[in-house]
Amino acid sequence: MAQKEAKTSEEVKPSAEPAMVIASTAAPAPSWFTPKRLLAIFCVINLLNYVDRGAIASNGVNGSLGTCTESGVCTSGTGIQGDFNLSNFEDGVLSSAFMVGLLLASPIFASLAKSVSPFRLIGVGLSVWTFATIGCGFSFNFWSITLCRMLVGVGEASFISLAAPFIDDNAPAPQKTAWLAIFYMCIPSGYALGYVYGGLVGSHSNWRYAFWGEAILMLPFAILGFVMKPLQLKGFFHPESTKALTAVETAVSEVQGSDNLNGKDGSFSIKEDLRDSTIQKSSKLKVGTKIMNQISRFMKDMKVLLVDKVYVVNVLGYIAYNFVIGAYSYWGPKAGYNIYHMNDADLIFGGITIVCGILGTLAGGFVLDYISSTISNAFKLLSAVTLLGGACCFGAFCFKNMYAFLALFAVGELLVFATQGPVNYICLHCVKPSMRPLSMAISTVSIHLFGDVPSAPLVGVLQDSINNWRVTALILTSIFIPAAGIWFIGIFLHSVDRFNEESENQITTTERSNTTPLLKGKKTETTKSASEP
């Protein structure tokens, strides 16, 4: 076996000396970071993102307008709405303003990931997020805080597009969907913490402190994105990474072998020549040309996504699903109050969503891993849980008894939240590695632009027309059926898991199997193991 490895090494490298040079640069001390620690860091960041969304919607931060009684007794307003005297329309705009930045910046960050270290992009995005939340705390009117909320969306865009590919890259093969589910579990739990956090801060001090507290918590993670060595994302090849240096070293050794160069002086001179020529070529490119190249590459990648039937079907089903979930989150408490006369509709619906969201999201990921994580199985799980969950929610609204409604609705929510792991697994695995950030970005843009953003006002128009919350809720819930139907079609589409597909800049499978894609913790390259006895 050792002889076979040595023979392989000789075929790749003409001499043992260059191989040892490569090994010395590719085997630094083990890193503190492990895949589980990376997952934990990304979960905390995701949690903070959704804590911010929950905090601005909480009564303590959002507040209310001042009121006056007929007798002339007036009470001052509270929170953002009270301080800036916002109308309900302006207040609604404020809560969703971050979507503008998120939708515009997500494709940009995903496209830049091909030419800039993805982990550095996350650092930039989190820095923007941190300064934007500080700005929210210092805002002085409606327009200033609205602008800051848009920038919060810009900062979040880089993380949303790139975090999931990193997690999927580093997760153990049998637990990829479970790890994604753990990551997306932070969405309902983050919202819940945000409601509590915003309420406590707003009631005990001032709503501005809530934003400043978020910024303090996020700042270490923003700095981390710049001080750590760049993470190697599957399908990408960046000059900052040690693999790029290894590639240069490999080219040097090949030139050495062909020209019979011996000694370190020749090695370093060729290396510097290669680097100098690369720098000279890159410096000659004008800014305009670079921008045009980025746009051209983005359009080509978009064409690839739009003709991929598996991806399109998956996103279409996700849009229909998110249309219902978005309207539930906005109108659910009001519908519950009007249909079942719930005194604490906010707490009841919020509690059901939090518990079922966490348990359902985790269960969906673990179940898919248990039955074998494939695109076909993911579509089967998506269609089944959405159909059954939708049926439970539909049946719940048919009951007149509030407790029967709550029991069946909780089961329905538990099932429909099981989609989070599988749907994102398909987004990541139906495209080649270099396309995964853009795949996640376009999916995020689509489900918001065509799903939860228009669903709230459209359901409001429907309710104004028929003036019956039970009927409105039943019509809305029935949209789960076409969502399940769309995902059911995906089962019969020819699907290929492209997670291990080589891209033009990706390292070889052999190299990847002998390296760890986490920071400094890279194992010795193939060349070293081959050169050793």
Cα–Cα distance measured from residue 164 to residue 54, given in angstroms and rounded to the nearest whole number = 22
The pLDDT tens digits for 456-468 are 888 888 888 888 9
Convert 288-322 to b/e letters by CB count within 10 Å (16 or more is b).
eeeeeeeeeebeebeeebeebebbbbbbbbbbbbb
| Average pLDDT of the chain, as a whole number | 78
Q: Thinking of the domain 33-63+79-237, which architecture would CATH place it in? A: Up-down Bundle (1.20)
CA 200 to chain centre: 28
Convert 113-146 to b/e letters by CB count within 10 Å (16 or more is b).
bbebbbbbbbbbbbbbbbbbbbbbbebeebeebb
- What is the identity of the amino acid at 62? N
Please give the helix or strand (H or E) that residue 74 lies within, else none.
strand 74-75
The pLDDT tens digits for 27-78 are 444 455 678 888 999 999 999 998 998 888 777 787 777 777 667 676 777 8
In 10 A of CB 34, how many CB atoms? 15
513 Cβ contact list (under 8 Å, min separation 6): none
The long-range contacts involving 140-149, CB below 8 angstroms and separated by at least 24 positions, are 141/84, 142/84, 142/86, 142/90, 142/94, 145/80, 145/84, 145/94, 146/93, 146/94, 146/97, 149/56, 149/94, 149/97, 149/98, 149/101
According to the CATH classification, is domain 301-500 in 1.20.1250.20?
yes
Least confident of 273-282, 386-395, 440-449: 273-282
Question: Residue 523 — very low, low, confident or very high, per pLDDT cuts 50/70/90?
Answer: very low
More confident residue, 62 or 412: 412
Cα–Cα distance measured from residue 376 to residue 429, given in angstroms and rounded to the nearest whole number = 11
- 430 pLDDT higher than 90: yes
pLDDT at 527: 37
DSSP 2: H
Cα–Cα distance measured from residue 354 to residue 348, given in angstroms and rounded to the nearest whole number = 10
Report residue 494 as tokens: 């020819």
Cα–Cα distance measured from residue 404 to residue 421, given in angstroms and rounded to the nearest whole number = 29
Q: What value does the mean pLDDT take over residues 275-289?
A: 57
Overall pTM > 0.85 = no
pLDDT at 520: 42
- Burial group, residue 531, by CB count within 10 angstroms (0-12, 13-18, 19+): buried
Domains 33-63+79-237 and 301-500 share a fold: yes
What totals of helices (H) and strands (E) does the chain contain, helices first? 26, 2
More confident residue, 515 or 76: 76
- What are the sequence ranges of the domains in the chain? 33-63+79-237, 301-500
pLDDT at 297: 81
> Hey, CA dihedral for 274, 278, 284, 289, is it positive or negative?
positive
Question: Residue 343 — very low, low, confident or very high, per pLDDT cuts 50/70/90?
Answer: confident
- 300 pLDDT higher than 50: yes
The pLDDT tens digits for 89-123 are 787 778 778 888 988 898 888 888 777 887 888 89
Q: What value does the mean pLDDT take over residues 329-347?
A: 79
18 Cβ contact list (under 8 Å, min separation 6): 249, 252, 253, 256, 257, 267
Report residue 328 as tokens: 């539930």
The fraction of the chain above a pLDDT of 90, given in percent, is 34
Question: Residue 397 — very low, low, confident or very high, per pLDDT cuts 50/70/90?
Answer: very high
pLDDT at 454: 86
| Cα separations in angstroms, 114 against 224, 239, 281, 433, 501 | 21, 11, 18, 11, 16
Report residue 78 as tokens: 């509270």
- 259 pLDDT higher than 70: no
Question: Residue 231 — very low, low, confident or very high, per pLDDT cuts 50/70/90?
Answer: low
Half-sphere exposure of 294 (CA within 13 A, CB side): 18
